[in-house]
Structures are given as C-alpha cells and as structure tokens.
Amino acid sequence: MFFHNEKLLKLGGYVIVGNEFDYIMSISTKLCAGKWIAVVQKDVIEGNSAKEVVERARTKYPKKEPFVMKVPNNANMLL
C-alpha cells in the first residue's frame, strides 16, 4: 500500500517507494558489488543469490514484500 505523500519510482522494471530508493542511493557506496540485496524498511539483507535474500527477508518480515536487486559491478550504474 502506498500513501499519497510517497513518490513512486521505476527501477529495473519494479515500482518501489521513493523512500526505499532514496535509502539505497544514500548507502550505494557501502554495498558490495555483485551481491544480491533485499531491502525492507531500510534493512538491507545481502547474499549471493536472489533466492537467498528473498527467503531471509520473508522470514524476517513475513508481511512485507522486499525490494530485491543485484548490486551492479560498476558503481556508476547507481546514479
């Protein structure tokens, strides 16, 4: 559910809440290139596969849908 004051952004074919996107951008230099991440409420779960991070995120936050992406090897892609 999105609230009226939250901006929505498309990233890699997914629509995410602006707050999550802003958070990912603010920590982009701290993310490990080539790793998969799942983000739920500013909690970043890193792993080696999408399946791994989704399972861990859903275990920790069973009622939330995680935003999942692979961190690019080229940091310039996160602009």
- Tell me: the pLDDT tens digits for 1-60? 333 334 444 444 444 555 677 788 888 888 888 999 999 988 999 999 999 999 999 999
At 22, the amino acid letter reads D
**Confidence at residue 3, expressed as pLDDT on a 0 to 100 scale:** 36
Tokens encoding 16: 């995410």
Q: What's the CA gap between 67 and 56, in Å, rounded?
A: 12
Tokens encoding 49: 């596969």
**Confidence at residue 75, expressed as pLDDT on a 0 to 100 scale:** 53
**Confidence at residue 17, expressed as pLDDT on a 0 to 100 scale:** 54
**Confidence at residue 25, expressed as pLDDT on a 0 to 100 scale:** 80
**How would you list the strands of the sheet with 36-40, edge to edge?**
43-47, 36-40, 67-70
